[in-house]
Amino acid sequence: MMVSCTRLVMQETREKKHLLTPVTDLPSVTPERANALHELGMYRVADLVKHLPMRYETHHGGMTIEAAEALLGDQEATPELVTIETTVIKVSPGWRRGRKSKVEVGVEDETGHMHINWFNQPWVARSLHPDMRIRLHGSLSMRKGILQMNNPRFEEVKEDEPTLTIEGDLRPVYPASERISSSMIATLIADVLEEALLEIDDHLTSNMLDSLSMPTLASAYAMCHKPETIDSSIEGRRRIAYDELLLLQLGVMMKRHHRIDTMRAPELLWNDEIKNRIEARIPFTLTKSQQSVIEEIAGDVTTTTPMNRLLQGDVGSGKTVVALHAMLMAVTCGAQAAMMAPTELLAEQHYKTITELLENSQVTTSLLTSSLTAKERKTRIQQISDGTIDIVVGTHALLTDDVVFSNIAVAITDEQHRFGVQQRALLRNKSDDLHAIPHSLVMTPTSIPRTLSLTVFGDLDVSTIKGMPPGRTPITTRLVQPEHASKVYQYMREVVEKGQQGYVVVPLVEDTDAGLKSVTAHAANLRDGLLRGKTIGVVHGRMKSDEREETMQQFRSGKIDVLVATTVIEVGVDIANATMMIIEHADRFGLAQLHQLRGRVGRGTLPGVCALIASPTTDDAQHRLEAIVETTDGFKIAERDLEIRGPGELFGAKQSGIAPFKIARLPRDFDLLRLARRNALEWIQRDSTLQNSQLLRARLMHVHGEALGLGDVA
Ligand code: ADP
Ligand code: MG
């Protein structure tokens, strides 16, 4: 596979003389410009061609100030944008009032002068100086008899810079930087475009393009860089966005096909008898939603096709007991199961929950974390590999090479969002059969937006636990200014006096200059002050695990009233009698993180209270805190989180290791995504490893081969 792929790329290399030319070989690219291009990710001519305009402006080039004044006439402002080359006469760095600033600049040309204002862009004053030639691009207006522009785009006119020669009225505006202007990039692209386009081969046949009503790749690039109309630029962009989406969908479908077609997992059993036996051990009645998710899982594991399922359910919705069912499906058939958690604290808690539920049964359980002694670890690994242990709960420590199962049938990854897509448990069996893998269930509390579930997670079947177990009272959340913090702690005293417990969350373990309250210092303060007389425990990530487990145990059994902790308690910690949480410096936490933290209280039938202590200094922080106070619905919070963080983060590329889309934008291109998905599905059904479309295959391998692990597949 790798051989044919490399050969193909080389074949392309030989023919694509122009496309593969380094930008440094282009006549008008000075070393300085080359660096600037490199910074923007452009190394070869092909990268220039792929650098698409972000928008277009109607170009009224070469206008004088006099002509501009005539164009304005007696309108209040020009509807079109106007480009004028001028000389700077005077720069007056702005005044400040509140948080607003204004830079005033006088400019002139041979025919007149103009006044320019830049609001809230104080840096403009630093980049301009008298006698500098600048090109201004913006809308004109008249104020007190003086022609002016507000917040125009501007760039320096360099001596050696050729005047722009883009045909037509539409001037492309490219993503640029301080070191290279959009119009310079436009000039470079205009120079190479025609020759480069001749070398662009299409990986879609003309029949396919016809049925999609899309242009060839080469025309699509031409339409983006030199559009005759805005509509044709949109059509060109659509084709390129489609390709991006199609490639990822093909990769995901190829993997899916491979799993279903060639991989095998143990065929497990599920019937009423087994179900009743498990349910007899559970001290509550499963909700309808939990039951139906369990049935979906059972539907998967009773076949030999490896399950690859994502279970999403809000914090506290009861995913653990569902996971236990999946694991017991394995154990009932004499196979093993494993559950992996992102922190030791959570692994320890799961281990405890599971052993308690399975007390006095035949099922053997074990905990595997990195804080075991070498000797303990050796014994447990031995027991895992000889099959003495049925259920293993652990952390990453489960993924090391020396952990080999005798016969694992179900692998659970809890709090999957903490691991990243690539780290799905790859748990191995002793058997040499490369096609044998366990059924996999990954669990996440963050609801994955549909767009994401079709992309990065496209290979997963999704189950959702809707709603909460009965009897929960929603948590009340309040934002409290730091100066009123003592009232909140007073309230916590009252909660404790009623026999309930509380958490206090602080951002860091150690004191810093920023004045963040460290866990230990803060706990000491509370002991001597606001919570005097109450028993206070401390938990953080840098503690030894037996110390931490001891403290958690005391908290669980009610010997500790208030637990002061870092975010180690963010995931999964489940103590029903803890009803109040105070989060210090709440503006330091992300929205999803606040929701997770808050999910630690109100887990039983007692109402929960969460106080966020903060005086936010940024708009984002303000929005996050408003959102968390407003709703307790995890799905709504996930949506708000995306709005605040913007679509750039939507793809989850950081975690996934998958190249982010350059052109396609979700959710805007959702319809295109669905089209690509449908097409990819049909395609892989016809030709599961793209043997008949070698160019497409080579491009797919190049873009996603590594991140999606397609090397093993195709
Ligand atoms: P999460 O989905 O956040 O992992 P857990 O599995 O930790 O949630 O469950 C939260 C709490 O709800 C646990 O104490 C669990 O025992 C309890 N629970 C789960 N399902 C039910 C149910 N159907 N009825 C009552 N309590 C339940
Ligand atoms: Mg959980």
What is the pLDDT confidence band of residue 163, given thresholds at 50, 70 and 90?
low
Instruction: For residue range 496-554, list pLDDT tens digits in order.
Output: 999 999 999 998 755 554 545 688 889 999 999 999 999 999 998 788 888 888 898 89
What is the pLDDT confidence band of residue 9, given thresholds at 50, 70 and 90?
very low
Say yes or no to pLDDT of 151 above 60.
Answer: yes
Q: Based on C-alpha coordinates, what's the Rg of the chain? A: 31
Say yes or no to pLDDT of 309 above 90.
Answer: yes
In this predicted model, which residue has the larger pLDDT, 12 or 102?
102
The ligand whose atoms approach the alpha carbon of 321 most closely is 1
* Alpha helices (H) in 514-631, listed in sequence order: 519-528, 545-556, 591-598, 619-630
Q: How far is the CA of 457 from the centre of ligand 1 (A)?
A: 25
Residues composing the chain: 714
Q: How far is the CA of 317 from the centre of ligand 2 (A)?
A: 8
Cβ(342) – ligand 1 distance below 6 Å = no
Cβ(604) – ligand 1 distance below 6 Å = no
Say yes or no to pLDDT of 215 above 60.
Answer: yes
323 CA: nearest ligand 1 atom? 6
Q: How far is the CA of 503 from the centre of ligand 1 (A)?
A: 19
Rounded to an integer, the average pLDDT of 244-265 is 91
Whether residue 48 contacts residue 192, with contact meaning beta carbons closer than 8 Å, is answered with yes
Rounded to an integer, the average pLDDT of 75-88 is 80
Dist. CA 62–CA 83, nearest whole Å: 7
What is the pLDDT confidence band of residue 160, given thresholds at 50, 70 and 90?
low
- Which of 119-128, 222-231, 402-411 bottoms out in mean pLDDT, i.e. has the lowest? 119-128
Rounded to an integer, the average pLDDT of 553-564 is 93
Q: What is the pTM of this model?
A: 0.71
Rounded to an integer, the average pLDDT of 384-410 is 92
pLDDT confidence of residue 691: 93
Say yes or no to pLDDT of 580 above 90.
Answer: yes
* Alpha helices (H) in 83-177, listed in sequence order: 123-127
Whether residue 513 contacts residue 539, with contact meaning beta carbons closer than 8 Å, is answered with no
Q: How far is the CA of 282 from the centre of ligand 1 (A)?
A: 11
Say yes or no to pLDDT of 218 above 50.
Answer: yes
Rounded to an integer, the average pLDDT of 50-77 is 81
Instruction: For residue range 232-252, list pLDDT tens digits in order.
Output: 999 999 999 999 999 999 998
Say yes or no to pLDDT of 710 above 90.
Answer: no
Among 281, 317, 340, 598, the mutation site with the greatest number of ligand 1 atoms within 8 A of its Cβ is 317
- Residue closest via CA to ligand 1's atom 24 equals 469
The sign of the torsion formed by the CA atoms of 542, 544, 549, 550 equals negative
Say yes or no to pLDDT of 316 above 90.
Answer: no
Whether residue 443 contacts residue 319, with contact meaning beta carbons closer than 8 Å, is answered with yes
Say yes or no to pLDDT of 420 above 60.
Answer: no
Number of H helices, E strands in the chain: 24, 25
- SS3 assignment, position 556: helix
DSSP code, position 132 = -
The ligand whose atoms approach the alpha carbon of 353 most closely is 1
Whether residue 49 contacts residue 193, with contact meaning beta carbons closer than 8 Å, is answered with yes
What is the pLDDT confidence band of residue 14, given thresholds at 50, 70 and 90?
very low
Q: Tell me the Ramachandran region of residue 318: left when phi exceeds 0, alpha when psi lies from -120 to 50, beta otherwise.
A: left
Q: How far is the CA of 328 from the centre of ligand 1 (A)?
A: 17
- Which among 568, 512, 513, 515 is positioned nearest to 538, based on CA atoms? 568
pLDDT confidence of residue 4: 41
Rounded to an integer, the average pLDDT of 130-154 is 88
